[in-house]
């Protein structure tokens, strides 16, 4: 039988920890994010988290069913950070562009957490709010339901895929990341036009563009495609 979900108020530790801290889901998630940033996913364990919070590791299970449940909460917190302060303008392309860039930025700001959570479906409040908002932006713009789901699917998956890809680069050791970026100048820029004509002509631009995220460009291409589809159906809601 599945465990009954208990409200945070009922699960909350009544007494402060030895250091005087009163635990909460938010504090645990914030501490987990810090540990991921400092030690990577391998450094996030119940024992280490308990030490960081000055509490017995078993206390964490008053708030989360296990470490995987905590992982979902971390992913949902990143989406919450993206949504914080976001307001719709009523212009669907601008609204999707903004929320997409916000979600991407929230994930790459926490590379280790992004690698752990970008592929997960949390089913939590912030994720549901983001999904509802994106679907409503598209439906309000006049996309038919089938096209709404199609664009929503591409939009969300593209955003999270680029977040994971960019986070993976940022999570590399600094020397490794620097070596990868230098490859565009040390190798690609030196290829002769005789053997690699297309790379040679594009090398200066490649050296500039390939060390930055392609997400803004890909997002714009997706929005252009969606706009063309909306024009084709006459912008009528169905």
Could you report the per-residue pLDDT of 174-205, keeping only the tens digit for each? 999 999 999 999 999 999 999 999 999 999 99
Instruction: Please report whether residue 6 resides in a domain.
Output: no
Rounded CA separation 68/22 (Å): 23
Instruction: Please report whether residue 129 resides in a domain.
Output: yes
10 Å Cβ neighbour count for 86?
13
Instruction: Please report whether residue 28 resides in a domain.
Output: no
> How far is residue 217 from each of residues 4, 29, 111, 198, 224, measured CA to CA in Å?
45, 32, 21, 21, 11
Rounded CA separation 204/45 (Å): 45
Which of 207, 113, 127 minimizes the C-alpha distance to 163? 113
pLDDT of residue 228: 96
In this structure, what token pair is assigned to residue 197? Answer: 């004509």
Instruction: Please report whether residue 55 resides in a domain.
Output: no
Rounded CA separation 43/142 (Å): 47
| Residues 178/179/184/190 CA torsion (nearest 10 deg) | 140
**Length of the chain counted residue by residue:** 238
| CATH code assigned at 199 | 1.10.357.10
Quickly state the pLDDT bin for 16 (edges 50, 70, 90).
low
Instruction: Please report whether residue 220 resides in a domain.
Output: yes
Q: Quote the Cα angle for 144-150-153, to 5°.
A: 135
10 Å Cβ neighbour count for 145?
12
pLDDT of residue 10: 56
In this structure, what token pair is assigned to residue 31? Answer: 């501490």
Instruction: Please report whether residue 24 resides in a domain.
Output: no
CB 28 within 8 A of CB 63: yes
Tally of domains in the chain: 1
Could you report the per-residue pLDDT of 42-97, keeping only the tens digit for each? 889 999 999 999 999 999 999 999 999 999 999 999 999 999 999 999 999 999 99
> Which residues constitute the domain of residue 131?
65-232
In this structure, what token pair is assigned to residue 74? Answer: 């971390």
10 Å Cβ neighbour count for 134?
22
pLDDT of residue 22: 84
Rounded CA separation 69/63 (Å): 9
Instruction: Please report whether residue 31 resides in a domain.
Output: no
* pTM (predicted TM-score): 0.87
CB 188 within 8 A of CB 180: no
pLDDT at 41 over 50: yes
Check residues 14 and 150 and name the one with the higher pLDDT.
150
Instruction: Please report whether residue 30 resides in a domain.
Output: no
CB 224 within 8 A of CB 163: no
Rounded CA separation 9/62 (Å): 10
Which of 43, 58, 51 minimizes the C-alpha distance to 21? 51
Could you report the per-residue pLDDT of 96-131, keeping only the tens digit for each? 999 999 999 999 999 999 999 999 999 999 999 999
């Amino acid at each position: 039988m599945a465990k009954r979900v208990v409200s945070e108020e009922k699960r909350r530790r009544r007494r402060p920890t030895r250091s005087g801290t009163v635990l909460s889901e938010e504090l645990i998630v914030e501490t987990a994010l810090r540990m991921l940033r400092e030690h990577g996913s391998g450094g996030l364990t119940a024992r280490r988290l308990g030490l960081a919070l000055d509490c017995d590791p078993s206390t964490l299970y008053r708030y989360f069913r296990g470490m995987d449940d905590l992982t979902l909460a971390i992913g949902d917190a990143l989406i919450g950070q993206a949504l914080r302060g976001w307001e719709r303008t009523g212009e669907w392309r601008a609204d999707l562009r903004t929320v997409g860039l916000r979600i991407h930025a929230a994930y790459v700001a926490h590379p280790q957490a992004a690698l752990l959570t970008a592929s997960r479906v949390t089913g939590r409040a912030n994720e549901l709010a983001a999904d509802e908002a994106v679907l409503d932006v598209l439906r309000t713009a006049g996309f038919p339901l089938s096209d709404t789901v199609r664009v929503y699917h591409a939009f969300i998956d593209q955003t999270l895929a680029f977040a994971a890809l960019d986070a993976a680069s940022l999570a590399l050791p600094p020397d490794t990341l620097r070596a990868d970026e230098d490859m565009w100048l040390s190798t690609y820029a030196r290829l002769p036009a005789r053997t690699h004509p297309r790379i040679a002509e594009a090398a200066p631009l490649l050296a500039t563009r390939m060390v930055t995220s392609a997400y803004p460009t890909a997002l714009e291409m997706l929005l252009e495609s969606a706009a063309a589809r909306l024009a084709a159906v006459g912008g009528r809601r169905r």
